[in-house]
Chains A and B, each alone.
Chain A
Amino acid sequence: MSKVVKGVGRAVGKVVKGVANAVKKVAKSKFGKILIGAALVYFGGAALMGAMGASGAAAAGGLSGLSGAAANVGAAWSSLGTAGSALAAGEFGTAASALGSGISGGVAQGASAAVGAAGAAAPTVASASPWATSSTGLNVLASEAAPAATKGLVGSIMNSPYTAPALISGGTQLAGGLIQGYGAQKQYDDQKKLDAAARNRYNQNIGVNLNIPKFG
């Protein structure tokens, strides 16, 4: 089988990491724009975690329904090891900031329209009230209220109230898996030590001089 048939020989991590190029492309048609969004969602849970600190990630959109699911996708990619780590370490900072241009021409504009229709959040600041409503719909101090949401797919996912719990849930699952794995490993190591000690005792018992007294 050649190295390219069926993808054999391809560096999976590199292939998966290359989704950053897919989300940066300029879509030629409505299907292309949908595919950019699909690539972001189906690959992008983990990627978006990596892009959390990316500057230029736009805020708010109308895709809160995808946010939690996308975060769970990220956790699932992480469980795949190489492929997931390639995503998490991927260059999504660039991709995320490019989403404003790459997707705003299609998906994000539609998303922002949905934001308006759904009544999602510009922060509302009463002149006398110290409280304001953040872009996620939560009450925060007026001084801490986020600026008005700008368009974008990344921002819509990251600023959804469902994202943080989903990320926490995904992270907890990962941590739980690690803890379970550590516990199982420790149990195995302890059992091995016990087995080794038993073998040592057995070996030491062989050939012991019983000093049986002689009669007669």
Chain B
Amino acid sequence: MPGLVSNAMGQQTQDPKVEDAMSEAPAQDTPAPAQMPTEQPAKGEKDQNDPGYVAALDFAMKALYENEAAKDVARAIKMSQDPVSAMAEAAYNVVEIADEKTDGAVPDELLVLFATDVLEEVAEIASAAGVEVKPSDVALAFKQMVLRYVGEQGYDTTQLQQAMDQVSPEEFNAMATEEGEA
């Protein structure tokens, strides 16, 4: 698994198609798509209409779906002993690579939103590939991404992880079940 997603995303690719796609980062001044709403955020606020965010998300989606990285992601998750960690690692790598390829265009305030969008896609890919993805798995994968990011920033995540571990993952399954019944 280590490096597999990176390979699929083109960092050490052997597939010229993927490498070509990865090298074509969206231009920073790419105009917003016409179908996007024209509502403007308050001054200083960023929202998902931010051009940098849109560019990075577009890049990530293209890399996943047009360059067949999704197949590699699905295969990696299926073969993994721990689908939760596999989803977290795949999503984290996609976020990292997309952010790097767009030269950090995603505003800091939208990085968490971007990460949730990517993880959502990774979960959908895994589910479509036949992997049983429970709501608790998605929540746990998100937790792993958060802890990994905070740890990489130099913070001691021991106490935070202990506190997060107190949250029962089954609550998320119950949440989804009740939603389905509602």
| Chain B residues within an 8 Å CB radius of A11 | 108
**Complex-state Cα separation, A29 to B119, whole angstroms:** 12
Q: Which 7 A-B pairs have the closest CB atoms?
A: A110-B179, A110-B178, A18-B109, A76-B163, A14-B108, A4-B104, A38-B139
* Chain B residues at the A interface, C-beta cutoff of 8 Å: 46-48, 96, 99-100, 103-104, 107-113, 115-117, 119-120, 123-124, 127, 133, 135, 138-139, 142-143, 146, 149-150, 152-153, 155-156, 159-160, 162-164, 166-168, 171-172, 174-182
Task: Report Cα–Cα, A150/B37, bound state, in Å.
Answer: 31
Query: Could you write out 15 A-B pairs with CB less than 8 Å apart?
Result: A18-B110, A18-B112, A29-B124, A30-B179, A34-B175, A37-B175, A38-B143, A39-B116, A39-B142, A66-B168, A73-B163, A76-B160, A110-B179, A110-B182, A111-B175
How distant is the Cα of A14 from the Cα of B46 in the complex, in angstroms? Answer: 11
The listed residue (B103, B163, B172, B176) touching A4 by CB distance below 8 A is B103
Q: Classify the secondary structure of A's interface with B.
A: helix
Given the known inter-chain contacts A15-B111, A65-B171, please indicate yes or no for A21 contacting B47, CB distance below 8 A: yes
Is B142 a contact of A38 with CB atoms below 8 Å? yes
Q: Which residues of B contact A70 (CB under 8 A)?
A: 167
How long is the Cα–Cα vector from A136 to B142 in the complex, in angstroms?
Answer: 30
B135 nearest in chain A by CB position: A34
Contact A6 B116 (CB under 8 A): no
When chains A and B are docked, how far (Å) is the Cα of A63 from the Cα of B172?
Answer: 9
In the assembled complex, the CB of A193 is this many whole angstroms from the nearest CB of chain B, namely 32
Interface residues of A, Cβ cutoff 8 Å to B: 2-12, 14-19, 21-22, 25, 27-39, 41-43, 45, 62-63, 65-66, 68-70, 72-73, 75-77, 79-80, 83, 106-107, 109-114, 117
Does the CB pair A79–B159 fall under 8 Å? Answer: yes
Residues of A within 8 A of B182 (CB): 109-110, 112-113
Given the complex of chains A and B, what is the CA–CA distance between A31 and B116 in angstroms? 9
Known: A16-B112, A38-B142. 18 other contacts (CB 8 A): A2-B104, A12-B155, A19-B112, A21-B48, A21-B109, A21-B112, A22-B112, A25-B117, A31-B120, A34-B138, A35-B120, A38-B172, A62-B174, A65-B168, A66-B167, A73-B164, A76-B164, A114-B178
In the complex with contacts A18-B110, A62-B178, A110-B182, A69-B116 CB distance below 8 A: no
Contacts of A83 in B (CB 8 A): 150, 153, 155
Residues of B within 8 A of A106 (CB): 179
Contact B146 A43 (CB under 8 A): yes
Residues of B within 8 A of A12 (CB): 150, 153, 155
